[in-house]
Amino acid sequence: MIIASGITKTFGRLRVLDDFGVTMGGGHAFSLIGPNGSGKTTFIKCLLGTVIPDSGSVTLDGVDLLRSPELRSRIGYMPQIGRYPDNMRVAQLFDMLAELRPSSQKRDEELMDAFEMRRIADKPMRTLSGGTRQRVSACAAFFFDPQIIVLDEPTAGLDPVSVEILKEKVNAERRRGKLVLLTSHILSDLEDMTTDVIFLIEGRLRFCRPITELREESGGERLGRLMARLMREAQNATPMPPS
Amino acid sequence: MILKIVKHVLLDILRSRIVLAYTVFLAAASIGLFNMDADTGKSLASILSMVLMLVPLTSLIFATIHYYNSYEFIELLSTQPLRRGTILLGEYLGVSLALGLALLAGVGLPVAAYDSSLTGGCILLAGLLLTFSFTALAFLGAVCSRDKARGMGMAMLQWFFFALLYDGLLLLVLFTFQDYPLEKAVIALVALNPIDLARTFVMLQMDVSALMGMTGAVMQEFLGSRLGMTFTLGVLTLWIAAPLGLALRVFRKKDL
């Protein structure tokens, strides 16, 4: 279980996260939804330790995630754009990631088989296409059978076949009790992978609710349309800042 | 844990052509300089000048480019179960060891082949310390600015200052205040520039007073050769530790 509370982060004058808090439990797949610039990626980065929040805390099963980097061995992360050292070969990347973790940690090579990583194992990273690199990133995220899986725009740049494989994998892991957190602007991802929606506006939590509940309330409205309506409403409700 | 990162960074760099080109250039220049003059002492003096100019420049530019090109990879490492300090130190050691190996191969082998005197060894040691120092300075500049162009500008400015501008300023000070006893001030001023420290260190060993200039002569008179060499080496080590320590401090609190 991940509990984030009171997270505030400012970049210069811009307050990207403002007293943001949310509780996430295993067996659910959470989608971070919000307009551009609402703080989705910043929150993910706070969780992973790449951005250090001004105040607030993130705990994983009661332990402070920001002060215990070794806990990150339980998190798998797939970045939006994966860039690796030019001359590193695909197999070397996985070897290196393995060396950085306790050797007792379980491996999960299911996705590597599905994405046929063996066939490109000897290729240097710089020769890979954008989509292939995304597949490498996806495999790296699931490689250590992590308890928590964080995916930042996972389906962008992947071909339809790979998207389906990835979606199946995400759903299978969630059913196994893993906690999935993802951001995506592609609404079919929302339909196919998400169980709960975390709705952010201007760095604040608007709501965190199960998707079934939202569906019932909206009375059969398509989810995509529902999200767009909520975003418009929220933006109209908050007055434009003086320019 | 650091060593595992060092290993991968080092292997990646050694496979790139840039470091190979640097090695070949150093080797060609060293062999050329040895063949130009029958007196190996003069050749060594030329090699020293080359090392003092080229090593800081290459270290600054290569390390800065490497840092910015590895940015996404450093970001990925920071999501792994690693401390921030481990990541930066691993990257730093990988880069400086790669450049150090290039120097050892490019200058070290010709020096060992043509002239196995102690002076050659001192030039190599000075070159290695300069590599470590300017790589640390490059990392400090790079972690302080997000923008690649600004980071590169910072690297170029550092080289321009330490390699060219500083000696001019030093001369200006010496001329302006030539009526006063400046010896102690000169020692302090030399300590503020790693390149001058490296030059003085080698000059003290070479023991050629004609080539020493005022700084070398002052250093020898006041500290003697042995103490002078210990002093310059010690301060050069500080020029590695201080920028590296500062870079680590900034990097620990940095948003990637």
pLDDT in tens, A84-116: 888 788 998 888 888 888 777 778 888 888 888
State which residues of chain B have pLDDT below 70.
Answer: 207-216, 223
Confirm if B132 and B100 have CB atoms less than 8 A apart: yes
Instruction: From chain B, pick out residues whose CB is under 8 angstroms from the CB of A88.
Output: 8, 12
Closest residue in A to B73 (Cα–Cα): A84
Q: Given CB atoms, is B15 within the 8 Å cutoff of chain A?
A: yes
The closest CB to that of B82, out of A45, A92, A100, belongs to A100
User: Does B81 touch chain A if contact means CB atoms closer than 8 Å?
Assistant: yes
- What sign has the CA pseudo-torsion A67, A68, A74, A80? positive
Query: Exposed, middle or buried by CB within 10 Å (0-12, 13-18, 19+), for B90?
Result: buried
State the residue for tokens 């602007």.
Answer: A185
Residue B175 sits in which domain range? 2-252
Contact A146/A87 with Cβ under 8 angstroms? Answer: no
Structure tokens given for B147: 């923008």
Extents of the domains making up chain A? 2-193
- Residue contact B81–A71, C-beta within 8 A: yes
User: Least CB-CB distance to A83: which of B72, B79, B255?
Assistant: B72
Q: Quick one: closest CA in B to A149, which residue?
A: B79
Cβ contacts below 8 Å, chain A against chain B, sum to 73
A11, A51, A85 member nearest B70 (Cβ): A85
* pLDDT for position A243: 47
Least CB-CB distance to A81: which of B4, B16, B72?
A: B72
Q: Does A240 touch chain B (CB under 8 A)?
A: no
Map tokens 């450093």 to a residue.
B74
Measured between beta carbons, the chain A residues lying within 8 angstroms of B81 are: 69-73, 100-101
Angstroms from B112 CA to nearest CA on chain A: 32
* Chain A residue with minimum CA distance to B80: A72
Instruction: Chain B: give the shortest CA distance to residue A134, in Å.
Output: 13
Nearest to B67 by CA among B158, B148, B160: B148
B residues 40-79 lying closer than 8 A (beta carbon) to A: 69-73, 75-79
Report the C-alpha gap between A56 and A19 in whole angstroms: 8
Instruction: Quote the pLDDT of residue A232.
Output: 82
End-to-end, the C-alpha distance of chain A in Å comes to 41
- The answer, for A146 touching chain B at a CB cutoff of 8 Å, is no
Which has the closest alpha carbon to A139: A120, A158, A166?
A166
CB B127 within 8 Å of CB B59? no
CB B64 within 8 A of CB B85: no
Strand A75-78 to strand A2-11: parallel, antiparallel, or no bridges (unpaired)?
Answer: unpaired
**Segment 10-69 of chain A within 8 Å of chain B by CB:** 11, 45, 48-52, 69
Q: Which residues contact B196 (CB under 8 A, 6 or more apart)?
A: B166, B167, B170, B189, B190, B215
Please tell me the distance from the alpha carbon of residue B170 to that of residue B28, in angstroms, as a whole number. 33
Give me the residue from A50, A86, A92 closest to B75, CB to CB: A50
Contact B121, B104 (CB under 8 A): no
Q: Which DSSP letter does residue A234 get?
A: H
Which distant-in-sequence residues (6+ apart) come within 8 Å of B143 by Cβ? Answer: B67, B88, B247, B250, B251, B254
**Any CB–CB contact under 8 A between A125 and chain B?**
no
Query: Which of A7, A87, A128, A150 to mutate against chain B (most B CBs within 10 Å)?
Result: A87
Note whether B8 contacts A96, CB cutoff 8 Å. yes
Which tokens is B205 given? 């060993």
Q: A92 to chain B: which residues are within 8 Å by CB?
A: 8
Task: Write the pLDDT tens digit of every residue in B30-43.
Answer: 999 999 888 888 88
Chain A residue whose CA is closest to B69: A85
> What per-residue confidence (pLDDT) applies to B64?
96
Alpha helices in chain A (DSSP H): 40-48, 90-99, 110-114, 117-120, 130-142, 160-175, 187-193, 211-218, 223-237
Q: Is A71 on the interface with B (CB under 8 A)?
A: yes
Do the chains contact at A85 and B12, CB–CB below 8 Å?
yes
Q: Which of A2, A5, A58, A14 shows the shortest CA–CA distance to A38? A: A14
Q: How close does chain A come to B19, measured CA to CA in Å? A: 13
A133 touches chain B (CB under 8 A): no
The whole-model pTM stands at 0.88
Closest residue, chain A, to B74 (C-alpha): A84
pLDDT digits (tens), chain A, 243 positions: 899 988 999 988 888 999 999 999 989 999 998 888 888 889 999 999 889 999 999 999 989 888 888 888 899 999 888 888 887 889 988 888 888 887 777 788 888 888 888 889 899 888 998 899 999 999 999 998 899 999 988 888 889 999 999 999 999 999 999 999 998 878 778 778 889 989 888 888 888 888 888 888 877 777 777 777 878 887 776 655 554
Domain count, chain B: 1
- A2-193: CATH, from 3.40.1830.10, 1.10.10.410, 3.40.50.300, 3.40.640.10: 3.40.50.300
